[in-house]
A and B are shown apart, each in its own frame.
Chain A
Amino acid sequence: MEIAASNMGTEASGRPGSAAGRMLAGFFDWFGLMGLFCARLARAAVQPPYEWRELLRQCDAIGSLSLPLVALAGAATGVVLSMETHDSLSRFGAKTMLPAVIVFSVLKESGPIITGLVVSGRVGAGIGAELGSMKVTEQIDAMDASGVDPYRFLVATRVLACILMLPLLTLAADFFGVLMGWVANNLGESISIRYFLQSGFKHVDFGDFLPSTLKTAVYGLIIGAIACFEGMRTKGGTEGVGRSTTRSVVLASLFVILADVLLVRLILAFFS
């Protein structure tokens, strides 16, 4: 027992250092491999032949199938914003500012980030699981073996579809957010939609709206690239597919949030 205990002590004391080393190596390894993956993706995306049909199919799968969820999330955000800010603004006697606060909050931040996170979950998991399953069942090898570049057919199309669809989905989230913000506000005290929109959009210009909508194209790039990367390097059967799916969602969400911080800073620097 004493020997076992002393061995355990040695192992325990030895482990943290090596575990930290392994984690650090894994961290740099991930970024290195991701860099190589992105370089291959960029080559595949620009070199003909282009897979238009698959791109359209992916735009449909990523865009229209995510629409209900994004619309619902946008609507819920609008309702919550309306309820929360109504109370706060009433305390400061600034209730007339409510439409502007809702519109600015939804257009500049809530709409884009909610869209990014919802799509990270739905699409990130979908792509990670689909490509992961294809990888472990040798379907990707079969594509490669038949002379079709899977990076061109599977990866570039999915990433491009994410880039194209995220801004459009953000518009939907914005629309439903503002609309439901008005509905929630209207339940407390009657206010016409016309007055709500006029008041809300009075000070909004393209500098408020365009950069924050278009930044979601970067979220699309992040979600698509990470999910495809994790899917394409899946190993270890169904358990591996589960791991890839989880990693796709977690890493895509994390990087979307980090990118948001950077992009907001950049947008403020260039557009304010």
Chain B
Amino acid sequence: MESTAPEFPVEIENLYKSFGPQKVLDGVSLQVASSETLAVLGRSGTGKSVLLKLLIGLQAADSGSIRIHGSDIASLNSGQLNELRRRMGFLFQQAALYDSVTVEENVAFPLRRYSGEPASRQKERVRELLRSVGMEAHAHKMPSELSGGMQKRVGLARALVLDPDILLFDEPTAGLDPITAGEIDDLIVELRERRKLTAIVATHDIRGARTFADRLVLLREGKIVAEGSFADLQKNRDRFVQQFVGSLG
């Protein structure tokens, strides 16, 4: 694996992915700069989640290349890929908390395996992260006792526990009420300001993307149809782009 820190920690080139006859990603190329928050927008089923899963190696692309910190993930063996994954955090759409263990144990799960720190320090770190997402009081609860928004917060704490430098969010506000969705958006903004992470957020929530994203890309039928700041997208005359961003005025 290359150890130099490239200007673009995430580089995607000509990415194709199909499921049977259904083409999900059709030649997507992207670069995400260090400390940039990129929102990947699009209607449901346009390949946003698939793009994130390809980035972290949960699925394999049909063709094209993905370079994370300069390493082509297709060329890594499972050990190298796992090592790279520890530098990335992933917040799943439904949070994907381990339902047989408590909130605290969920967050501590990766830490126990990969941190050489003593148990007391690990516990302190878990508490600190839970506090930062407003979930410290629920540390001993089981995931089934939490609301959707609370589960997302815990999922976020878990994604951050190994101090990643790239964070991937899969529909962080899907299924949440507007107030809770706003709170999650604020957390993303706070992360951007405080940790200077490189973040990619797959969402169809244009309102949220406007608050936290430095740059937006709009996917349609597996292709990028628009890219730029929110203001750039507003100026775009394409009917689909207008339909997507127009509602916010």
Q: Please give the residue numbers on chain A whose beta carbons come within 8 Å of chain B beta carbons, in ascending order.
A: 49, 130, 133-134, 137-139, 141-149
Do the beta carbons of B110 and A146 come within 8 Å of each other? yes
Do the beta carbons of B113 and A49 come within 8 Å of each other? yes
Say how far B46's CB is from chain A's closest CB, in angstroms. Answer: 19
Does residue B109 face the partner (Cβ distance < 8 Å to A)? Answer: yes
Residues 134-157 of B contacting A (Cβ, < 8 Å): none
Q: A138 to chain B: which residues have CB within 8 Å?
A: 92-94, 96
Q: Number of residue pairs across A and B with beta carbons under 8 Å?
A: 56
Do the beta carbons of B96 and A141 come within 8 Å of each other? yes
Do the beta carbons of B78 and A148 come within 8 Å of each other? no
> Which among B88, B90, B100, B113 is the interface contact of A148 at CB below 8 angstroms?
B113
Q: Contact size class for B?
A: 20 to 34
Do the beta carbons of A147 and B86 come within 8 Å of each other? yes
Do the beta carbons of B94 and A145 come within 8 Å of each other? no
User: Given A142-B90, A142-B96, A148–B110 Cβ distance below 8 Å?
Assistant: yes
Does residue B5 face the partner (Cβ distance < 8 Å to A)? Answer: no
Say how far B86's CB is from chain A's closest CB, in angstroms. Answer: 4
Q: In whole angstroms, how far apart are the Cα atoms of A72 and B33 in the complex?
A: 64
Do the beta carbons of B92 and A147 come within 8 Å of each other? no
Q: In whole angstroms, how far apart are the Cα atoms of A76 and B126 in the complex?
A: 50
10 residue pairs of the A-B complex, CB under 8 angstroms, read: A138-B92, A139-B96, A141-B96, A142-B97, A142-B98, A145-B85, A146-B86, A147-B114, A148-B109, A148-B110
Chain B residue with Cβ nearest A140? B96
Say how far A58's CB is from chain B's closest CB, in angstroms. Answer: 12
Do the beta carbons of B162 and A146 come within 8 Å of each other? yes
Do the beta carbons of A147 and B94 come within 8 Å of each other? no
Q: B98 to chain A: which residues have CB within 8 Å?
A: 134, 139, 142-143
Does residue B53 face the partner (Cβ distance < 8 Å to A)? Answer: yes
User: Given A139-B97, A141-B58, A146–B92 Cβ distance below 8 Å?
Assistant: no
> Which among B78, B86, B92, B113 is the interface contact of A141 at CB below 8 angstroms?
B92
Does residue B56 face the partner (Cβ distance < 8 Å to A)? Answer: yes
Q: A49 to chain B: which residues have CB within 8 Å?
A: 113
Does residue B31 face the partner (Cβ distance < 8 Å to A)? Answer: no
Say how far A61's CB is from chain B's closest CB, in angstroms. Answer: 10
Do the beta carbons of A141 and B158 come within 8 Å of each other? no
Does residue B99 face the partner (Cβ distance < 8 Å to A)? Answer: yes
Given A142-B90, A143-B98; 8 other pairs, CB 8 A cutoff:
A130-B100, A137-B99, A139-B97, A141-B58, A145-B58, A145-B85, A148-B82, A148-B110
Does residue B83 face the partner (Cβ distance < 8 Å to A)? Answer: yes
Q: B110 to chain A: which residues have CB within 8 Å?
A: 146-148
Q: Please give the residue numbers on chain B whose beta carbons come within 8 Å of chain A beta carbons, in ascending order.
A: 53, 56, 58, 78, 82-83, 85-86, 88, 90, 92-94, 96-100, 109-110, 113-114, 158, 162
Q: In whole angstroms, how far apart are the Cα atoms of A139 and B114 in the complex?
A: 19
Q: B53 to chain A: which residues have CB within 8 Å?
A: 141
Q: A147 to chain B: which residues have CB within 8 Å?
A: 82-83, 85-86, 110, 113-114, 162
Say how far B163's CB is from chain A's closest CB, in angstroms. Answer: 12
Do the beta carbons of A142 and B92 come within 8 Å of each other? yes
Say how far A178's CB is from chain B's closest CB, in angstroms. Answer: 37
Do the beta carbons of B113 and A145 come within 8 Å of each other? no
Q: A130 to chain B: which residues have CB within 8 Å?
A: 100
User: Given A137-B96, A137-B99, A145–B88 Cβ distance below 8 Å?
Assistant: yes
Q: In whole angstroms, how far apart are the Cα atoms of A147 and B164 in the complex?
A: 12
Do the beta carbons of A137 and B78 come within 8 Å of each other? no
Do the beta carbons of B83 and A145 come within 8 Å of each other? no
Select the residue from A130, A138, A142, A143 with max chain B CB neighbours within 10 A: A142
Q: In whole angstroms, how far apart are the Cα atoms of A142 and B99 in the complex?
A: 12
Q: In whole angstroms, how far apart are the Cα atoms of A198 and B92 in the complex?
A: 63
Do the beta carbons of A149 and B162 come within 8 Å of each other? no
Q: A143 to chain B: which residues have CB within 8 Å?
A: 98, 109
Say how far B167's CB is from chain A's closest CB, in angstroms. Answer: 11
Q: In whole angstroms, how far apart are the Cα atoms of A134 and B101 in the complex?
A: 13
Do the beta carbons of A146 and B96 come within 8 Å of each other? no
Do the beta carbons of A145 and B109 come within 8 Å of each other? no
Q: B97 to chain A: which residues have CB within 8 Å?
A: 139, 142
Do the beta carbons of B82 and A137 come within 8 Å of each other? no
Do the beta carbons of A137 and B109 come within 8 Å of each other? no
> Which among A134, A145, A148, A149 is the interface contact of B56 at CB below 8 angstroms?
A145
